[in-house]
A and B are shown apart, each in its own frame.
Chain A
Amino acid sequence: MSDQPAAMLDIHDLQGWYDESHVLHGISLKVARGEVITLLGRNGAGKTTSLRAIMGILGRTAGSIRFNGAELVGLSPDKIARKGIGYCPEDRGIFSGLTVDENLLLPPVVGKGGMSVAEIHTLFPNLVERRTSFGTKLSGGEQQMLAIGRILRTGASLLLLDEPTEGLAPVIVQQIGVAVRLLKQRGFTILLVEQNFHFASTVADRHYVVEEGKIVDEIANDDLPNQTERLKSYLGV
């Protein structure tokens, strides 16, 4: 396996805590450059917590998170972001006191090769008409597009997307799916948290299953048709 490229993101035995409660019990996973990878798992499995740990916004973490070879554990969130990671939180994190344009332009540029505002508008045309509206006046789908759109401008090469389809109508979910596939074509590397594995199967290369703060399984997307029963039992659907 010597010709396998070194992973862009290499997480080894990641532990994480909220105050005294130990939530991540040894997450290990690898994401190669250009891959789209999902974290699947039930409510409370630790998916969001894993993304927060990568961003450095979980109170206490231990273990190792290497990004392009550099250790992230122990760095402040702003330093981590500036290594080239864009974060789209589960609640979308749209700022209510900022207009759509201000939200879109907020995250600072952290690397080369980000998309232009015009390209982002082509990807999510809904954002164009709402440019001067305040963030929270948007529908859920529009907020999600804004939350994804604003991290495409920055030149981040790894995107962390936390349940971008949660609570959205099927037609919007499709639109998000189109966008994610386009972003993959453009060369973005994406770590996607999902509970909707139908959606996940339409965009991802591989899936990791998270249970009680650990990775318990890894499934290639091509193998997914044979593994549906197994996955359903993990997800309890």
Chain B
Amino acid sequence: MIPILNIPTDVLLGQLLLGLINGSFYAILSLGLSVIFGLLNIINFTHGAQYMMGAFVSWMLLTYFGIGYWPALLISPVVVGITGVILERFILRRIYDIDHIYGFLLTYGVALVIESIFRGQYGVSGQPYRAPALLSGVIDLDFMVLPIYRLWVVAASIAVCAGTWLIIEKTRLGSYLRAATERPVLVRAFGVNVPRMIMITYGFGVALAAFAGVLAAPLYQVSSIMGSNLMVVVFAVVVIGGMGSIGGSIVAGFGLGILEGLTKVFYPPGSNLVVFVAMILILTLRPAGLFGKAR
């Protein structure tokens, strides 16, 4: 193996893979936030709690009903997505016309409520959740060992992000969404039930968060605080990618994950900071983010 800058290749590749894993979560989560922000004009501070709920629902499905990972991958996002639809229909809908700060306060408050319910019920210590047999084990490449589950997370994330991007940018439904992001009233005057579309879109964004939660369950422990730690970084990712930019949030998600991984190799103490340093730099140079349009 040829070392680069005296760093063994396997260390470098190992950190790159870890970076890609983190990037997979950043990408799905910031994508969900972007989809929601584009149409609802709300920064969904409940996102981390909904990610946590996704992990918890799959844990509950297994613990209480004996329903395993593969069905949970579908059921959990649907269940959590439905709670999102209910939240939009009965609460968020009331605040679209007033100042942004209310959206922040409300979604943040809802996150606190959800997290404290789960904390009260399950404490803060993590519950283990095992990866399905098919994805357990490793692939040995001589120079490094690849855990199959981690490869799966990267693949699943890429597939979900690409699928979402295709729907939004290339389908008729997506053109409704993009048009309604620009001029919801006019789209409604063409005969589209925009309030219902907003409700479903919020549910979809929430389902993405829950999907990330299910992916995370076997990697990290399932705990009531798992979302709040992650979301601080994810909000920085969204800002860097450009608020509401679909492609931007995906690229920034994976890019920053990899950047973090590389920083861990070359300058370990900087790895927790590098995302925020990047955020400050990019906001200074391009206030709308890498792919964002000034609104």
Contacts and interface: CB of A to CB of B under 8 A. Distances in A.
Interface stretch (B16-24, B177-185, B222-230): B177-185
A24 to B, nearest CB: 18
B191 A81 contact: yes
Given A105-B175, A106-B175, A106-B176, A87 B182 contact: no
Contacts of B187: 106
Contacts of B179: 95, 97-98, 106
B189 A77 contact: yes
Contacts of A107: 190-191
Given A95-B179, A98-B179, A105-B172, A78 B186 contact: no
A55 B189 contact: yes
B227 to A, nearest CB: 31
Interface in A74-100: 76-78, 80-82, 87, 89, 93, 95-98
Most buried by B among A78, A82, A93, A108: A78
A45 interface: no
Nearest to B185: A57
A77 B185 CA distance: 8
A77 B192 CA distance: 9
Contacts of A89: 186, 189
Interface in B150-188: 172, 175-176, 178-179, 181-183, 185-188
A102 interface: yes
A86 B182 CA distance: 19
A interface, size bucket: 20 to 34
B193 interface: yes
A57 B189 contact: yes
Contacts of B189: 55-57, 77-78, 80-81, 87, 89
A80 B192 CA distance: 10
B194 interface: yes
B190 A108 contact: yes
B179 to A, nearest CB: 5
B193 A78 contact: yes
A45 B186 CA distance: 22
A189 interface: no
A152 B254 CA distance: 44
B190 A95 contact: no
A110 interface: yes
A154 B192 CA distance: 12
Contact of A77 (B178, B181, B182, B188): B188
Contact of A96 (B175, B182, B186): B182
Most buried by A among B175, B188, B190: B190
Nearest to A89: B186
A57 B178 contact: no
Nearest to B176: A106
B178 A95 contact: yes
* For the complex of A and B, 3 pairs with smallest distance between CB atoms: A81-B191, A107-B190, A77-B188
26 contacts: A55-B189, A57-B185, A76-B188, A77-B188, A77-B189, A78-B188, A78-B189, A78-B193, A78-B194, A81-B189, A81-B191, A82-B191, A87-B189, A89-B189, A95-B178, A95-B179, A96-B182, A97-B178, A97-B182, A98-B175, A102-B175, A106-B176, A106-B179, A106-B187, A108-B192, A110-B191
Given A82-B191, A102-B175, 4 more contacts: A55-B189, A95-B183, A97-B181, A97-B182
